């Protein structure tokens, strides 16, 4: 950005690469940081630096973790045999809001032949080992409701199912508080197909 001191311009450029932040917003953020006490900027810098230093992925489930095991895998009150299979760690945060009391398996992606992402690029081998361990009784496939998400769920159901393991798929349908007139016909059609007895 012309006319800005180099350190200011560099920080604006960094912020402007973040999702949802254009160059004007980036400039506003940086100028705001400059107006605050230096400790505020240092606190932000420390938090950003700690991201990659301290946050990794749980080697068991693939969720965000600060140590070798995540708080979810270590929680004895959860059903360790009920695994919700999701595409990304952020999906875990969303499902946690629902009050789900099982554990997770994060695939870190979904099958996408057009992007060259096959089964070996996902954490399916790790999932298979968890299933082979014998302690898992149900997989809830919570991959996205897209063509690739459906294909990923189908692949898992077909290739990883073993005797004694229930494989289910999250339902799709009418959202809480949703007016029928605003719901697309595919969602409505799926909601009718997956209707449940009252
Ligand atoms: Zn974990």
- The pLDDT of residue 186: 85
Structure tokens at 163: 């005797």
**Ligand 1 centroid vs 37 CA: distance in angstroms?**
38
Q: How many domains in the chain? A: 2
Q: Please give the average per-residue pLDDT across 41-50, as a whole number.
A: 94
**Ligand 1 centroid vs 130 CA: distance in angstroms?**
12
Check whether residue 43 and residue 105 sit in a common domain: no
**Ligand 1 centroid vs 135 CA: distance in angstroms?**
15
**Ligand 1 centroid vs 151 CA: distance in angstroms?**
25
**Residue 102 covered by a domain:** yes
**Residue 19 covered by a domain:** yes
What CATH number corresponds to the domain at position 50? 1.10.8.420
DSSP string, 108-166: SS--BGGGTB-GGGTTHHHHHHHHHTT---EEEE---SSHHHHHHHHHHHHHS--TT-E
**Ligand 1 centroid vs 198 CA: distance in angstroms?**
36
- The pLDDT of residue 33: 95
- The pLDDT of residue 4: 86
**Ligand 1 centroid vs 145 CA: distance in angstroms?**
24
Residue 1 in this model has a pLDDT that exceeds 70:
no
**Ligand 1 centroid vs 21 CA: distance in angstroms?**
32
Check whether residue 13 and residue 91 sit in a common domain: no
The conformation of residue 55, written as its DSSP 8-state character, comes to -
Rounded to whole angstroms, the Cα distance separating 16 from 4 reads 15
**Ligand 1 centroid vs 117 CA: distance in angstroms?**
24
Domain that holds residue 92: 77-169
Check whether residue 120 and residue 157 sit in a common domain: yes
- The pLDDT of residue 147: 93
**Residue 1 covered by a domain:** no
Rounded to whole angstroms, the Cα distance separating 24 from 172 reads 39
Structure tokens at 45: 């810098």
**Residue 68 covered by a domain:** no
**Ligand 1 centroid vs 175 CA: distance in angstroms?**
29
Q: What is the pLDDT of residues 111-133, one digit of tens each?
A: 999 999 999 999 999 999 999 99
Kindly report the number of other CB atoms within 10 A of residue 53's CB atom. Answer: 7
What CATH number corresponds to the domain at position 132? 3.40.1360.10
Structure tokens at 83: 């695994």
Rounded to whole angstroms, the Cα distance separating 17 from 38 reads 23
- Exposure of 81 in the CB half-sphere (CA atoms within 13 A): 10
Q: What is the pTM of this model?
A: 0.83
Closest CA to 125 of 38, 62, 47: 62
Kindly report each contact of residues 195-198 with a partner whose C-beta sits within 8 Å and lies 24 or more positions away, as own/partner: none
Q: What is the pLDDT of residues 3-23, one digit of tens each?
A: 889 999 999 999 999 999 999
- Confidence band of 195 (pLDDT split at 50, 70, 90): confident
Q: How far is CA 186 from CA 152, 182, 183, in A?
A: 20, 12, 8
**Ligand 1 centroid vs 193 CA: distance in angstroms?**
34
Structure tokens at 178: 């949703």
Check whether residue 41 and residue 86 sit in a common domain: no
Residue 189 in this model has a pLDDT that exceeds 80:
yes
**Ligand 1 centroid vs 128 CA: distance in angstroms?**
15
**Ligand 1 centroid vs 64 CA: distance in angstroms?**
8
Check whether residue 38 and residue 82 sit in a common domain: no
Q: DSSP 3-state assignment of 19?
A: coil
**Termini Cα distance of the chain:** 61
Check whether residue 82 and residue 156 sit in a common domain: yes
């Amino acid at each position: 950005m012309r006319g800005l001191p180099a350190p200011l311009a560099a920080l604006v450029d960094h912020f402007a690469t973040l999702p949802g932040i254009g160059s004007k917003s980036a400039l506003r953020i940086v100028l705001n940081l400059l107006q605050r006490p230096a400790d505020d900027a240092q606190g932000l810098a420390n938090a950003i630096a700690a991201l990659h230093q301290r946050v990794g992925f749980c080697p068991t489930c693939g969720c965000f973790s600060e140590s070798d095991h995540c708080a979810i895998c270590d929680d004895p009150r959860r059903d360790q045999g009920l695994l919700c299979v999701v595409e990304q760690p952020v999906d875990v945060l969303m499902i946690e809001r629902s009050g789900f009391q099982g554990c997770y398996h994060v695939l870190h992606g979904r099958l996408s032949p057009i992007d060259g992402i096959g089964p070996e690029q996902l954490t399916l081998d790790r999932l298979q080992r968890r299933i082979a361990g014998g302690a898992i009784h149900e997989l809830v496939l919570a991959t996205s409701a897209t063509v690739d998400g459906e294909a990923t769920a189908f692949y898992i159901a077909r290739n990883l199912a073993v005797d004694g393991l229930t494989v289910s798929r999250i339902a799709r349908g009418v959202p809480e508080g949703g007016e029928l007139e605003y719901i697309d016909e595919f969602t409505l059609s799926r909601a009718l197909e997956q209707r449940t007895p009252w």
